[in-house]
Structure 1
Amino acid sequence: MPRTPLLVITLFFLTGGIAHFVVADFFMMAMPDYLGYHKEFVLVSGVLEILGAIGILIPQTRLLAGYGLIALIIAVYPANIHMALHPEKYKNLSELFLYIRLPFQFIFVWFVWWAIAPERLENKNING
């Protein structure tokens, strides 16, 4: 049976990944103007979230999936900053929420890192 943190991570990223397809326009609006290929980035990040959500449940892929999800959280951080700096574009979201999300990203990186700790430590012991 998977550990509870792994289920939380799976639910979060599976829901978010599906949302990238269901409400793609919202995610494209969150993209900073200086980036091109908004739709492509949104769809690829949605696929990566879904793959990470599934991969973290599979013991053989858990470590890679965890590292991938951490990298994804870091990669989308500029979009979160963009949203916080331009709250007028997101009238349906409170400005406070947009700013609270910023430190939450660091907490979620730590949460994923912590959730894969048994695999990280086991891999460290195996590799010396």
Structure 2
Amino acid sequence: MRVLTRSAGPAFVVAGLLHFLKPRLYEAIMPDGLPAHRALVYASGVAEIAGGAGLMAADPRVRRWAGRWLVATLAGVFPANVHMARHAERYPDIPGGRTTLLARLPLQGAFAAWVLAAGHRSG
């Protein structure tokens, strides 16, 4: 369990950095009705980097804050996951297609539990 909770911070930092390295990938999954796709991709990248860095902090208060921050971030990007599942035909490169995209939706709850556990880890 310790490895899992300690890996959450670095995992979210890397995920956030990918928003800047591969922004088109993230823009492609944005719901059509949202404005400023590039800006939102960058904002969510910053949110993931900040949350991931917070999970690596020595101060347990910062880690707890970061866990809650990342749960809010996951909730904020959840519409993109729903959009992908509803429009699976737009994402033919996803192995398993719609089934995989639908299966990803409840995994967001597991990610939320992961970051909360990481935020509450000791030491």
TM-score of the alignment, normalized to the shorter chain, above 0.5: yes
Report if the CA contact (8 A) 1:66-1:113 is conserved.
yes
Measure the CA separation in 1 of the matches of 2:53 and 2:24: 24
User: Within 5 Å, which residues of 2 pair with 1:10-49?
Assistant: 10-49=9-48
Question: By how many angstroms is 1:46 displaced?
Answer: 0.5
Question: By how many angstroms is 1:48 displaced?
Answer: 1.1
Query: Which one-letter code corresponds to 1:103 in the other structure?
Result: P
Question: By how many angstroms is 1:29 displaced?
Answer: 1.0
User: Within 5 Å, which residues of 2 pair with 1:31-110?
Assistant: 31-60=30-59, 61-93=62-94, 94-110=97-113
Query: Which one-letter code corresponds to 2:114 in the other structure?
Result: F
Measure the CA separation in 2 of the matches of 1:10 and 1:100: 24
Measure the CA separation in 1 of the matches of 2:55 and 2:118: 9
Question: By how many angstroms is 1:18 displaced?
Answer: 1.3
Superposition RMSD on alpha carbons, in Å?
1.5
Measure the CA separation in 2 of the matches of 1:7 and 1:115: 6
Moved over 3 A (4+): none
Q: Rg bigger for which structure?
A: 1
Query: Which one-letter code corresponds to 2:83 in the other structure?
Result: H
Per-residue Cα deviation, 1:42-97 (whole angstroms, up to 9, x for no partner) = 00110111111111110322111111001000110011000000011111113222
Report if the CA contact (8 A) 2:5-2:121 is conserved.
no
Percent identical residues: 35
Query: Gaps spanning 5+ residues in structure 1: where?
Result: 120-128
